């Protein structure tokens, strides 16, 4: 243990012993009753939504008034509580600037996450899988896809967790959002693992290229660099894949899975986009660093075009491995690839980082593959 507190043995500490004796005599200090903290009228503004963080966004308790450099507590003290700046327990947070972590609408995202929790155990009609006939090759392809999703989803718990404990507790809405994301992603890894192990095939082979991208995400220099890679690019790509996977799902049970994971993933991507937008608005000098980070992120992403991943989606989209089925599958997957990049560019633009599009490595890649470049379509 690297920290032991300030008192060697409380029960033998003279002041403490005297205070306990006073307590036994009924003498209370009660200084804490005169906290002097702000007293506000706080109620639920909508009965249907209940008492949300938005309702608490007032005065010293609110987040709108929180400045870029909130010179407040550095410990466990909740934002707005009384504390002694000279005598507080310093948790030594490393992320103390609002723009390090903040995103527009983050309180709403957190409330939404709290109200839209679902359960992979009971909300998926697992027994219905037996009602739908699937060919062996389709089930094998779907098992490969589920193996991939099981493999990559936990990065979206591990990466934000790596940074959450370093964040100042004054940003508790963001930290709470991260906790909901960790829960969401654990559930995603769970649901895809369950699907792979319920379908008759089991887990298949892990994908080294994807793993290198995951390692690069985890090794981001700053939370914002890592968030841009993970939320905006990687989870954005996965969101497009979820939408596509719902379309090509072999059974209604699988469609249900994708409908549920999609709503969570969309929230995470939105947070990433709104965090980037916040940086563009309040700390735009960080653009160069973000460019460099996304340069490398795009490099890793290009290397993710693994045969197993690409081909399992082609087999699922074409519903088999006969030449005409493969031709259909290739067409559908080609559309998805263009869509992934198109949506990434849209997010960059909406975040106020549209200048990134001209620098992106994806446009040249699509041209090389003979696929249409969404950047050209967007500028037209």
Partner 1 sequence: MAYIAPKDYATDVAIFEKVKRTMEGDLDLAWMTHIGERASFRPSNPTRGLTLDDINGGGYAPERIPEIVRHNFSMAPRGAILPPGLPSLGYQVNRKSDVWSDLAPSLFEEAKSRRWAPARDVPWSALDGREAGSRREIAMRQLSTDLCAIGLVCADVPAYWVWRTNQEFHEVKYLMCVQMFDAARIAEAFRKRALYGSGALGVDCKPLGELLKMLLAADGYPQASLGMNLLLFGWVQALARALEAAADNAADAFLATRLMQDASRFVAYGTDHMRSLIHTRPGMADQLAEALDLFENGLVGALGAREVIEPLVLLAGGLEPVAALYREAAREHAGRCEAAGLGDRSAGPLPRFLELISG
Stretch that binds partner 1, among 63-71, 185-193, 244-252, 258-266 (CB under 8 A): 185-193
Q: Kindly tell me which of 178 and 348 has the beta carbon lying closer to partner 1.
A: 178
Residues numbered 359-378 forming contacts with partner 1, rule: CB under 8 A:
361, 364-365, 368-370
Q: How far is the CB of 41 from partner 1 (least distance, A)?
A: 6
- Let me know: does 363 contact 373? Beta carbons within 8 Å: yes
Q: How far is the CB of 346 from partner 1 (least distance, A)?
A: 21
Q: Cα(80)–Cα(57) distance, rounded to whole angstroms?
A: 11
Q: Kindly tell me which of 139 and 283 has the beta carbon lying closer to partner 1.
A: 139
| Residue 132 makes contact with partner 1 by CB under 8 A | no
Dihedral sign (CA 55, 58, 63, 64): positive
Q: Which of 95, 103, 145, 182 binds partner 1 (CB under 8 A)?
A: 182
Q: Cα(56)–Cα(230) distance, rounded to whole angstroms?
A: 30
CA distances from 157 to 142, 220, 239, 281, 367 (A): 24, 15, 16, 27, 34
Question: Vertex 159, ends 154 and 165: CA angle to 5°?
Answer: 125
Angle between helix 235-248 and helix 136-153 axes, rounded to 10 deg? 160
Residues numbered 291-330 forming contacts with partner 1, rule: CB under 8 A:
293, 296-300, 302-303, 305, 307-308, 310-312, 314-315, 321, 323, 326-327, 330
- Let me know: does 186 contact 157? Beta carbons within 8 Å: yes
Residues numbered 7-36 forming contacts with partner 1, rule: CB under 8 A:
7-12, 16-17, 19-21, 23-24, 26, 28-33, 35
| Residue 84 makes contact with partner 1 by CB under 8 A | yes
Q: Which of 105, 134, 169, 243 binds partner 1 (CB under 8 A)?
A: 169
Q: Kindly tell me which of 119 and 379 has the beta carbon lying closer to partner 1.
A: 119
Q: Which of 103, 106, 145, 204 binds partner 1 (CB under 8 A)?
A: 204
- The candidate with the shortest Cα–Cα distance to 249, out of 135, 122, 138, 119, is 138
Q: Kindly tell me which of 281 and 305 has the beta carbon lying closer to partner 1.
A: 305
Angle between helix 172-198 and helix 252-282 axes, rounded to 10 deg? 150
Residues numbered 92-131 forming contacts with partner 1, rule: CB under 8 A:
111, 114-115, 117, 119-124, 126-127, 130
Q: Cα(16)–Cα(4) distance, rounded to whole angstroms?
A: 17
């Amino acid at each position: 243990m690297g920290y032991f507190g300030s008192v060697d043995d409380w029960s033998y500490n003279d002041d403490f012993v005297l205070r306990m004796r006073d307590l036994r005599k009924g003498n209370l200090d009660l200084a804490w009753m005169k906290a002097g903290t702000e007293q506000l009228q706080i109620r639920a503004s909508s009965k249907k939504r209940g008492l949300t963080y938005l309702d608490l966004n007032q005065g010293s308790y609110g987040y709108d008034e929180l400045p870029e450099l909130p010179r407040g507590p550095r410990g466990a003290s909740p934002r707005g509580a009384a504390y002694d700046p000279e005598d507080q327990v310093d948790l030594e947070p490393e992320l103390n600037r609002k723009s390090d972590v903040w995103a527009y609408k983050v309180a709403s995202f957190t409330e939404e996450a709290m109200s839209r929790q679902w359960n992979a155990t009971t909300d998926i009609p697992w027994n219905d899988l037996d009602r739908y006939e699937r060919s062996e090759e389709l089930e094998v392809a779907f098992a490969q896809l589920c193996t991939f999703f099981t493999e990559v989803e936990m990065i979206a718990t591990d990466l934000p967790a790596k940074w959450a404990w370093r964040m100042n507790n004054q940003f508790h809405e963001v930290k709470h959002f991260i906790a909901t994301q960790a829960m969401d992603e654990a559930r995603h890894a769970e649901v895809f693992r369950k699907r792979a192990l319920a379908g008759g095939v089991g887990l298949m082979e892990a994908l080294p290229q994807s793993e290198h991208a995951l390692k690069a995400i985890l090794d981001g220099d700053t939370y914002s660099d890592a968030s841009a890679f993970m939320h905006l690019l990687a989870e954005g790509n996965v969101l497009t894949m979820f939408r596509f996977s719902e379309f090509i799902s072999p059974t209604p049970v699988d469609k249900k899975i994708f409908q549920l994971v999609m709503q969570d993933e969309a929230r995470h991507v939105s947070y990433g986009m709104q965090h980037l937008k916040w940086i563009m608005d309040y700390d735009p000098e960080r653009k160069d660093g973000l460019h460099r980070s996304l340069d490398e992120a795009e490099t890793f992403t290009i290397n993710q075009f693994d045969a197993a991943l690409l081909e399992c989606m082609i087999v699922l989209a074409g519903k088999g491995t006969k030449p005409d089925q493969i031709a259909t599958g290739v067409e559908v997957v080609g559309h998805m690839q263009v869509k992934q990049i198109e949506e990434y560019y849209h997010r960059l633009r909406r975040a106020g980082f549209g200048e990134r599009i001209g620098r992106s490595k994806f446009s040249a890649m699509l041209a090389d593959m003979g696929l249409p470049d969404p950047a050209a379509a967007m500028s037209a």
